[in-house]
Amino acid sequence: MTMNAFLPGGAITSTEHADTLLELAFLVTAADGKLAEEEATAFRDLVTRVRGKTASDDEIGALYTRFTNALEGSTCVERVKVVAPNLPADLKEPAFRVALALALIDRDASPHEDDLIDALFHALGLDATRAEEVAKEVRVALSPPPNSAPPS
């Protein structure tokens, strides 16, 4: 499953809003201090979807550099609290959905990612019941099919 399954159709027309969602996604991938191959692929898919065109290696590298520089001197959780409130209401749930998917896509649970997701939930001001429903939907969508071999 790609990140596109967790986004509404079409590109995000506001560059500011697109970049805010992308930075939040980056922060999830950075939370545990390692970038899994699945996370890198998902982030590239996300950039392509949000921008409405295929992202080049240079564009991905520039985003990583920009978001890493913005993170300097703070933690991922602290940065989420600054960035998340800049999203408009219609992108808050999709951003939460994307963050959950990125946290789960490598099947390597991290307490740092859990803390970041919790901070994101609060920073976005989401309804707790709806957030739990979204979390369940993402977990089900990313669960391996029955009778599949565990990841190696």
| pLDDT of the residue at 1 | 55
3-state secondary structure of 31: coil
Contact status, residue 11 vs residue 52, Cβ threshold 8 Å: yes
Q: Report pTM.
A: 0.84
Q: Specify the pLDDT at position 74.
A: 93
Residue pointed to by tokens 């307490």: 111
Q: Which residues contact 137 (CB under 8 A, 6 or more apart)?
A: 97
What is the structure's pLDDT at 149?
59
**Residue corresponding to tokens 């940065």:** 79
Distance between CA atoms of residues 131 and 46, nearest Å: 21
User: What pLDDT shows up at residue 105?
Assistant: 74
Residues in the chain with pLDDT values less than 50: none
